[in-house]
Amino acid sequence: MDLREKIEKGILSDYVLHIEYFTKNDKMNHLIEIVKQNVMWAPFIVYFNSNEKAIEFTSLLNRYGITSDYFGKNCDISKKNKVLELLRNYKLIVLCVSYDLEDISINEAQTIIFGDVKLSNKNEIDLIEKVSAKCSTKPFFRIILPISNNDFKENYLKIFMNDLILIDTKLKNFIEEKKMTRIRISQNRKNVKSSKDYEKILKKINNLIDK
């Protein structure tokens, strides 16, 4: 079964896709503002494709008083258990990761942010299914995709979107039908309220999808 089939059978939680579009290429500061403005969506899982970025983002968030930690590929089991206990008790706002988390359970996570969209199909699927796990405090979860103009020039964003559609066969229809309840768009951290602006950004996303 793919992600959508598991959602419809009640095995996994449903989700809303948030496109966070920004015109300046200062992604780290943009990610910080996303978390600061939406702490009610915690706990967050934030994915990066390197330990260095995960550590950097964790450090920046802690400077702002946002309780954060990270898992790297070589993280020992005692640290994992300690951090997960904090997350499960809602005492950790952000967990930054740089691998697929296939060995742990994070049912309480409410939101996943892809700080990098350059990752394998397996990692993308594993991370989304981890965060989509059912939890009594989570009626649905959020996938946040921060993208800039430069990202549209790179093939990895196209690969990411097409991989997402492979596991959620209805997402393509939601995009084509401009379902604002399913796909929400912000530009420079402000909700896009104009239907014209919404459609303009959504069209750029739709152009990435294989027909």
What whole-number distance in Å separates Cα of residue 96 and Cα of residue 53? 9
Cβ-based neighbours of 4, under 8 Å, separated by 6 or more:
167, 168, 169, 170, 171
Q: What percent of the chain has pLDDT over 70?
A: 97
Cα-Cα end-to-end distance for the chain: 22
Degrees, nearest 5: CA angle 137-112-60: 110
Highest mean pLDDT among 70-74, 172-176, 188-192: 172-176
The pLDDT value recorded for residue 180 is 86
Taking the CA atoms of the chain, what radius of gyration do you get in angstroms? 16
Residue type, 20: E
Per-residue pLDDT for 157 more than 70? yes
Per-residue pLDDT for 73 more than 90? no
pLDDT digit string, tens, across residues 84-113: 899 988 899 999 998 767 667 788 999 999
Closest C-alpha to 27, from 51, 55, 49, 57: 57
Q: Which CATH architecture has domain 3-206?
A: 3-Layer(aba) Sandwich (3.40)
Cβ-based neighbours of 61, under 8 Å, separated by 6 or more:
32, 35, 67, 68, 93, 94
pLDDT band at residue 20 under the 50/70/90 scheme: very high
- Give the mean pLDDT of 68-96: 88
Which ranges constitute the DSSP H helices of the chain? 3-8, 27-37, 51-63, 77-88, 121-131, 155-167, 171-176, 195-206
What whole-number distance in Å separates Cα of residue 1 and Cα of residue 9? 10
> What's the chain's average pLDDT?
88
Helix (H) or strand (E) run with residue 116 in it: none
The pLDDT value recorded for residue 100 is 65
